[in-house]
Amino acid sequence: MELNFQRDELLRALQRLQSIAATRNTIPILSNTLISAGDEGIVMAATDLEVGIKLKVPGTVEEEGSITIPVRKFLEIVRELPSDEVRITTLANDRIEITYDRGSYKIVGLPSDEFPSFPEPSEDYLVMDSDVLVGMIGRTSFAASAEEGGFYDGVYFHLTPDSVRMVASDRRRLAMMSERMETPVEEEMGVIIPLKAVNEFAKNFEGAGEIRVFIQENQIMFQGEDKTLVSRLIEGSFPDYEAIIPKTSEIRIVADTQEMLGAVRRVSLLADPKTLMIIMDISEGKLVLSASTPDFGSAYEEMELRESTGQIKIAFMARYISDVLRNINCEEIVFEFNEPLSPALARPSDSDNYIYLIMPMRME
């Protein structure tokens, strides 16, 4: 096999592959990237058996073939090369030579036939806009649990006949976004996609245009023109999230999103490290944010609200408020409350396709 690349194109592909390849694994080949050159051009792949990605990489094929190479070391070498052009050549005994105009580097690889195979796509698939999915991931995935294991360590991909929803929760909060389906589905269904997979999709498929989505057995596959991402699904049934969303609210406020985000960040600097609690006190068209800790002191900020109905004093974990303010992507945010210990809702003021539910904290 003999291939020629532009260094920047190769480096960009290796950076994407390295984030998926297994770094700590008893199976050595999972730390490698597969390079295949044939009629379809140059394809590079990486997998950790849970998530995998294949990329078509621009380059010229002088001799076809395939091999696997340790992706981290390959990336480190290519990153340091000063040349714009890089040549990759396979040698005997599963070795590869990386050359440029002033030097060469040899790496020991592994045979390509030992690399795990990717599933073949089925005949049934959905056509979706990649940027719609990327936007939905950005506004929901932050609410998923950071702890591994279980259905909270993922994003629920819920298809109804006329819409697609993404839902994420860590038991203390929930984010849900809904978009209309351009091509309606016949039957309602839902699968749980691991957090790593949705994050890799967001990094790799922005601006990819129309993509195909295949859901088959225990896997989901996203296929674009020059890239494919496949992931195992998390087993189990996602909780009935619709049942916990309040249908009515007694108290409602509208605030400037960025102004509130700045105030929450500042006040949370003096929140108790053990609880990270901030208090929201709403009355007479004003919001007062406060926090305190015995070791450092206290903080207090007041801001005018765009709209306000009712009054309440309620406490939340500061990060849970700043997360939605940072990710909701709207100029004005609406908060809705009932009781100090009842779930609160946040939503954009200019659309009804997104909600964020958050459980309050008990004030001492």
Which residues are bridge partners to 249 per DSSP? none
Same domain assignment for residues 103 and 131: no
Sequence-ordered list of residues with C-beta below 8 angstroms from that of 297, at least 6 positions apart, any chain: 270
Which residue has tokens 């903080």?
299
Same domain assignment for residues 104 and 185: no
Same domain assignment for residues 42 and 104: yes
Is 326's pLDDT higher than 70? yes
Same domain assignment for residues 238 and 130: yes
Same domain assignment for residues 173 and 228: yes
Residue 142 per-residue DSSP state: G
Which of 192, 214, 242 is at the close of a domain?
A: 242
Q: What is the pTM of this model?
A: 0.91
Q: Is residue 120 part of a domain?
A: no
Task: Report how many domains make up the chain.
Answer: 3
Same domain assignment for residues 20 and 103: yes
Share of the chain above pLDDT 90, in %: 85
SS3 317: strand
Which of 182, 209, 242 is at the close of a domain?
A: 242
Same domain assignment for residues 307 and 345: yes
Half-sphere exposure of residue 115: CA atoms within 13 angstroms, side-chain side: 26
CA dihedral 301, 306, 307, 311 (to 10 degrees): 0
Same domain assignment for residues 236 and 140: yes
pLDDT in tens, 83-127: 899 999 999 999 999 999 899 999 999 999 999 999 999 888 999
Token pair belonging to 126: 């959905």
Average per-residue pLDDT for the chain? 94
- The residue range of the domain holding 194 is 126-242
Cα–Cα distance for residue pair 198/168, rounded to 1 Å: 11
Q: Is residue 363 part of a domain?
A: no
The candidate with the shortest Cα–Cα distance to 203, out of 29, 13, 6, 35, is: 13
Same domain assignment for residues 265 and 183: no
**Residue 191 contacts residue 133 (beta carbons within 8 Å):** no
pLDDT in tens, 222-274: 999 999 999 999 998 898 999 999 999 999 999 999 999 999 999 999 999 99
Same domain assignment for residues 227 and 333: no
The candidate with the shortest Cα–Cα distance to 141, out of 178, 162, 170, is: 170
Q: Is residue 281 part of a domain?
A: yes
Domain at 61, CATH number: 3.10.150.10
